[in-house]
Structure 1
Amino acid sequence: KLDPMFTEAHQGMGLACYNKGRYDKAAHAWARAVYLKPELMDSVPDKLKLKVKMGVSRLKFSK
């Protein structure tokens, strides 16, 4: 379950994975953060934006 309390944790995980070059995992974590707080999309690295958008729409449909 996605809890708004963990938005920053998802974002931090996304950034950490991105810095290690693990883009799929990073996009997954970012998608959770953006799903909880859509304005975070602005801080998503350009390389991941498309993957994150797809991840967010997947999260919306799974609800």
Structure 2
Amino acid sequence: MADISWEEPYCGAGNNCYRIGVDGDGNSYIAVAGQEDHPLTDSRAALSALIRDIKAGKADHLLEG
């Protein structure tokens, strides 16, 4: 596996903790905290787009109960 530099876990309400990481080749990673050996991976550009879209509210419909 790539040499990933992981950020500290981001924990929302309850037990939902995620980690974001990057490697030296420009790839980004998202994993459930404690399961970093099974991350989702994509480019830094894709991670940036995901974060911008979430901040813009494009995923708010996923939070509706």
> What range is the shorter-chain TM-score in?
under 0.3
Q: Which has the higher contact order (CA 8 A, sep 6+)?
A: 1
Q: Which has the higher strand share?
A: 2
Q: TM-score, normalised by structure 2?
A: 0.24
Q: Which has the higher helix share?
A: 1
